[in-house]
Chain A
Amino acid sequence: MLRAGDVTVLAGGTDLMPQTQAGRLRFRPVLMNVRRVPELKGIAEDNGVVRIGALVTITELLDSALVRERLNLLWQACDHFASDQIRNAATIGGNLCNASPAGDTLVPLLALEARVVLAAKPNGTLQIRRVPLAQFLLGPGRSCRGLTELLAAVEVPLPGAGFVGEFYKHGTRPGLDISTISIAAGARRDGAVLRDVRIAFGAVAPTVIRAPRAEAALEGHRADAATLEAAVQAALAEIHPISDVRASDWYRRELIHNMLKRVLTHVCKL
């Protein structure tokens, strides 16, 4: 199958169907339904890394005790995802391959330093490569996945004990809206000092992004109001929101300013 090359991969269809109907996407000669490929299913932990098969649905992530307890940041994003009907159909692989700058699972996955597993079978032998999510995503709807490659899974290293994360999504209709902005932030308290600080944003740049300067403003510092404010200011310098039908760039900046502060206050337990 993977050798065929000119294929359109079908998972849940929740992105593919609207794109096809709108004529934005023409099927390639082969429509490949990957539903029956068992390697693409299941959630399992091995050696501190959680492997989530590409076909795992948002509902399955929500129902997974492993995800809820150990990857809670991802679980929260799934909890904010669309409606029950969409969550039952939408897969994590589809969310990743659709590469939307507002993709809800992408934001926590980026913060958790996930990598995607890409598989191809160019001449009968299976070739696997692992790509950090930050390098996988190239722009709106664009990833470095080759035409003959299938996204097999996403691998997420477990955050250290004591890591606390919070996901925030702003939209008008609770889940169904595409995020106006979203935030995934987390850290570990080491006494009064913050460690393993991770901050990622959705819908403020062409892809979901990490905020390394905001993270650096907190990493190894004492968690207090002044540090938080410095981190928020650093974050505002790192984002490049656009104005579109959902919000103006000004409004997105205000949202990031106010909501990042709130999220960080919770994460730092101030």
Chain B
Amino acid sequence: MSANCDIAFTLNGVKRELSVPAGMSALAMLRERLGLTGTKYGCGEGECGACTILVDGMSVNSCLLFAADCDGRDVVTIEGVVQSEAGERLRSAFVASGAVQCGFCTPGLMVQASHLIEQHPGADEAAIRRGIEGNLCRCTGYRKIVDAIASAAKPDPGQTPFSEGQP
């Protein structure tokens, strides 16, 4: 079916309106139509997680999501995640831990990690490892990635225990 669908959704906080082919993936829409290339195409089959985005606050593989299915929803990509405070913490933690080698898996991992930390603040190593099962990294062996996420998941050392749980 080649018919187009008119969709309207929020992308990184900004309202967008678009006409997309019915069979197009959200990943193709983001990269090819909207020029947001932070979201990566790894496998196109839901195996690698390089294309992870947030839709209505839940992490999903954008290669498996139909662009048309973004209609009416709230979509956040890595470009949006890094603008948040949590995203900035993750970014510095990835750098500090040396969790980036070629960097191809990094955007997907950071989006997934931001979702993981939001759902399970203070997640331990086992929870982190399980949370990133859907993200493949060919370079790092995961140890440093897990460390980075664990340190970003810890409450900010600059904050007193009393302010825990507050924004």
Chain A positions near chain B (C-beta within 8 angstroms): 10, 12-14, 16-18, 20-21, 26-29, 31, 33, 35-36, 59, 82-86, 88-89, 174-176
State whether B116 touches A85 (Cβ < 8 A): no
14 further A-B contacts with Cβ under 8 Å, apart from A27-B1, A33-B71, are A10-B69, A12-B64, A14-B46, A17-B66, A27-B22, A59-B58, A84-B116, A84-B130, A84-B132, A84-B133, A86-B46, A86-B64, A176-B47, A176-B133
> Which residues does chain A contribute within 8 Å of B114, judged by CB atoms?
none
Count the B residues whose beta carbon is within 8 Å of the partner chain — how many? 32
Chain B positions near chain A (C-beta within 8 angstroms): 1, 5, 22-23, 25, 44-47, 49, 52, 58-61, 63-66, 68-69, 71-72, 112, 115-116, 130-135
CA distance A89 to B54 in the complex (A): 11
Which A residue's beta carbon lies closest to that of B22? A31
CA distance A82 to B64 in the complex (A): 14
State whether B1 touches A86 (Cβ < 8 A): no
CA distance A26 to B112 in the complex (A): 31
> Which residues does chain B contribute within 8 Å of A84, judged by CB atoms?
59, 112, 115-116, 130-134
B14 to chain A, nearest CB (A): 22
B23 to chain A, nearest CB (A): 6
State whether A85 touches B1 (Cβ < 8 A): no
B113 to chain A, nearest CB (A): 11
> Which residues does chain B contribute within 8 Å of A176, judged by CB atoms?
47, 133-134
State whether B68 touches A86 (Cβ < 8 A): no
Most buried by B among A29, A84, A175: A84
The listed residue (B45, B58, B66) touching A88 by CB distance below 8 A is B58
State whether B65 touches A33 (Cβ < 8 A): no
> Which residues does chain A contribute within 8 Å of B23, judged by CB atoms?
20, 27
CA distance A100 to B1 in the complex (A): 25
> Which residues does chain B contribute within 8 Å of A29, judged by CB atoms?
1
